[in-house]
Amino acid sequence: MKKHNFSAGPCILPQEVLKKAAEAVVNYNDINLSLIEISHRSKEFIAIMEEARSLVKELLNLPNGYSVLFLQGGASLEFLMTAYNLLKVNGKAAYLDTGTWSSKALKEAKLLGDIEVIASSKDKGYNYIPKNYEIPSAIDYLHCTSNNTIFGTQIKEFPKTDSLLVCDMSSDIFSRQLDFSQFDLVYAGAQKNMGPAGTTLVIVKDEILGKTNRKIPSMLDYQVHIQKDSMFNTPPVFAVYVSMLTLQWLKNLGGVAAIEKINKQKAELLYNEIDRNPLFEGFANKEDRSVMNVTFNLTNEEAHKETFDTLWNNAGINGLKGHRSVGGYRASIYNAMPIESVQVLVDVMKQLEKQA
């Protein structure tokens, strides 16, 4: 029996996607070759790449003038690529510091220029999203992280700026409807809502590139990757293929609008139990709670941790422990997580209450 997978990433994928991917690894489309041994220059893989990019544009309702790339290196490489491609020589950028990944992003950007942290929630352990901050006018771009997996916070309303707006959406892209015309650059690691680890989605407005007066290494230059259709070097064939399958699954489900409703139901079910059950307490401020990553603690860890851990393990739940840097518990309820699995966790929490 498959476990209820609450892992933060690599995370749960739809069962039908896993089945198709497994078949393709053995024999892709009855060509008697494995997907992972065909040439990335073959008509079969070129069709996969084109379909994947087309689905991104369709599902996110992207305006004209944006390029879609499937690259490698994870969001961690994008921390550097963003600065290389957008930060002008002797320029300045502004960053919102809302958690571990945004702090890593600004650390990389500081290697190339002047980076100002205009707001941070570090003072309270990153349990909220800063608001009412001032955005400098003379900046090349503003960088934010839409969803913070470790701390369970999520931006509900994005900042308005006259400069370029960049967003790391690694852990909540395709989970809710957004107006993507407000963003100039979006990047996201695949291993949350799109597919397996190994590829990174980049969505970039074409007109913003090539204006830094900076020499950019080829592998870090978005324009090079656009010109080569995401195949400047050998692409991560399997990760792109599974991402394509996952996007097809999402489209067949009814698209982002449909999954947004389901995601809200899942989050509401779990947060309601956390708020109702006296043995648990949420970590993030209520107004900033993530729909993707639900972080919570036991109110008396010494008294109940051993019993609770036994109960959820016996219920077939996997990946519930909080990030090693903060402890507690974290239930990651990405797109492919069925509401039935969330109900299993809620039932376990109620069971603990009865036994206490």
Q: For residues 72 and 199, is the Cβ–Cβ distance under 8 A?
A: yes
User: Active-site residue 192, yes or no?
Assistant: yes
CATH of 15-253 given 3.65.10.10, 3.40.605.10, 3.40.640.10, 3.40.50.720: 3.40.640.10
What global pTM score does this model have? Answer: 0.97
Q: For residues 78 and 187, is the Cβ–Cβ distance under 8 A?
A: yes
pLDDT tens digits, one per residue of 114-150: 999 999 999 999 999 999 999 998 999 999 999 999 9
Separation between Cα atoms, residue 16 and residue 182, nearest integer Å = 34
The residue-averaged pLDDT of 247-252 equals 98
Q: Which residues contact 271 (CB under 8 A, 6 or more apart)?
A: 282, 289, 294
Query: Can you give the pLDDT at residue 176?
Result: 98
At 71, is the pLDDT very low, low, confident or very high (cuts 50, 70, 90)? very high
Phi (first) and psi of residue 264, to 5 degrees: -65, -40
Separation between Cα atoms, residue 240 and residue 275, nearest integer Å = 39
Q: Is 231 helix (H, G, I), strand (E, B) or coil?
A: coil
Domain with CATH 3.40.640.10 in the chain: 15-253
Q: For residues 83 and 109, is the Cβ–Cβ distance under 8 A?
A: yes
Set 97, 140, 168, 221: catalytic member: 168
Query: Can you give the pLDDT at residue 325?
Result: 87
Q: Which residues contact 23 (CB under 8 A, 6 or more apart)?
A: none
The residue-averaged pLDDT of 178-203 equals 97
Set 192, 205, 266, 288: catalytic member: 192
Q: Is the pLDDT of residue 1 over 80?
A: no
Query: Can you give the pLDDT at residue 14?
Result: 97
Q: For residues 345 and 331, is the Cβ–Cβ distance under 8 A?
A: yes
Q: Which CATH superfamily is domain 255-355 in?
A: Aspartate Aminotransferase, domain 1 (3.90.1150.10)
Domain with CATH 3.90.1150.10 in the chain: 255-355
Question: What are the beta bridge partners of residue 144?
Answer: 167
Question: What is the share, in percent, of the chain residues with pLDDT greater than 90?
Answer: 98
At 85, is the pLDDT very low, low, confident or very high (cuts 50, 70, 90)? very high
Set 101, 140, 184, 221: catalytic member: 101
Phi (first) and psi of residue 332, to 5 degrees: -90, 115
pLDDT tens digits, one per residue of 157-167: 999 999 999 99
At 2, is the pLDDT very low, low, confident or very high (cuts 50, 70, 90)? confident
Nearest to 150 by CA among 174, 171, 169, 129: 171
Question: Exposure string (b/e) for 268-290, b if CB count within 10 Å is 16 or more?
Answer: ebbbebbeebebbebbbeeebbb
Query: Can you give the pLDDT at residue 356?
Result: 87
The distance in angstroms from the start CA to the end CA of the chain is 29
Separation between Cα atoms, residue 72 and residue 51, nearest integer Å = 18
Question: What are the beta bridge partners of residue 44?
Answer: none
AA identity, residue 230: S
User: Active-site residue 249, yes or no?
Assistant: no
User: Active-site residue 229, yes or no?
Assistant: no
Phi (first) and psi of residue 141, to 5 degrees: -165, 160
Q: What share of the chain is helix, strand, coil (3-state, %, to 5)?
A: 40, 20, 40
Upper half-sphere CA count for residue 87 (Cβ side, 13 Å):
24
Q: Is 201 helix (H, G, I), strand (E, B) or coil?
A: strand
Q: What's the burial of 138, exposed, middle or buried (CB within 10 Å: 0-12/13-18/19+)?
A: exposed
